[in-house]
Amino acid sequence: MLAVVIVAAALWGLGWMMGASRRARVVSLGILYAAVLTAQLVLPPEAELRAATGGSPAPWLALGVAGVMVGGYGAGLRRLRARAAANAPPEAPRGSGFRDAELERYARHIVLREIGGPGQKRLKAARVLVVGAGGLGSPALLYMAAAGVGTLGVIDDDTVENANLQRQVIHTDGRIGMPKVFSAAEAIGALNPHVTVRPYHRRLTEEIAAGLMAEYDLVLDGSDNFDTRYLVNRAAVAAGVPLIAAAMTQWEGQISLYDPARGGPCYECIFPERPAPGLVPSCAEAGVVAPLPGVIGSMMALEAVKHITGAGQGLRGRLVIHDALDAETRAIRLRPRPDCAVCGG
Where is pLDDT greater, at 81 or 115? 115
Instruction: Look at residue 67 in the predicted model and tell me its pLDDT.
Output: 74
Instruction: Look at residue 12 in the predicted model and tell me its pLDDT.
Output: 57
pLDDT exceeds cutoff 60 at 89 = no
Instruction: Look at residue 78 in the predicted model and tell me its pLDDT.
Output: 74
What's the CA gap between 176 and 159, in Å, rounded? Answer: 7
Residues forming beta bridges with residue 197, ordered by sequence position: 152
CB 244 within 8 A of CB 219: yes
Instruction: Look at residue 36 in the predicted model and tell me its pLDDT.
Output: 67
Question: Of 205, 294, 212, nearest to 248 (Cα)?
Answer: 294
> What is the average per-residue pLDDT within 334-344?
92
Where is pLDDT greater, at 80 or 339? 339
pLDDT exceeds cutoff 80 at 268 = yes
> 3-class DSSP state for residue 323?
strand
pLDDT exceeds cutoff 60 at 19 = yes
The model's pLDDT over 210-266, given as tens digits with 9 standing for 90+, comes to 999 999 999 999 998 999 999 999 999 999 999 999 999 999 999 999 999 999 999
Instruction: Look at residue 58 in the predicted model and tell me its pLDDT.
Output: 74
> 3-class DSSP state for residue 320?
strand
Instruction: Look at residue 82 in the predicted model and tell me its pLDDT.
Output: 65
The CA angle 33-36-37, to the nearest 5 degrees, is 85
- What's the whole-model pTM score? 0.72
What is the 8-class DSSP label of residue 43? S
Instruction: Look at residue 50 in the predicted model and tell me its pLDDT.
Output: 62
pLDDT exceeds cutoff 50 at 95 = no
| pLDDT band of 164, cuts 50, 70, 90 | very high
| pLDDT band of 44, cuts 50, 70, 90 | confident
The model's pLDDT over 279-296, given as tens digits with 9 standing for 90+, comes to 666 677 778 999 999 999
What's the CA gap between 257 and 221, in Å, rounded? Answer: 10
| pLDDT band of 90, cuts 50, 70, 90 | very low
Instruction: Look at residue 87 in the predicted model and tell me its pLDDT.
Output: 45
Bridge-based pairing of strands 243-249 and 252-258 is: antiparallel
Question: Of 112, 89, 116, nearest to 102 (Cα)?
Answer: 89
Question: In terms of residues, how long is the chain?
Answer: 345
Domains recognised in the chain with CATH numbers? 2-87 (no CATH), 102-333 (3.40.50.720)
The model's pLDDT over 186-203, given as tens digits with 9 standing for 90+, comes to 999 999 999 999 999 999
pLDDT exceeds cutoff 50 at 88 = no
Residues forming beta bridges with residue 129, ordered by sequence position: 153, 219
Region of residue 299 (phi > 0: left; psi between -120 and 50: alpha; otherwise: beta): alpha
| pLDDT band of 1, cuts 50, 70, 90 | low
Question: Of 135, 140, 133, nearest to 287 (Cα)?
Answer: 135
Q: What is the mean pLDDT of the chain?
A: 86
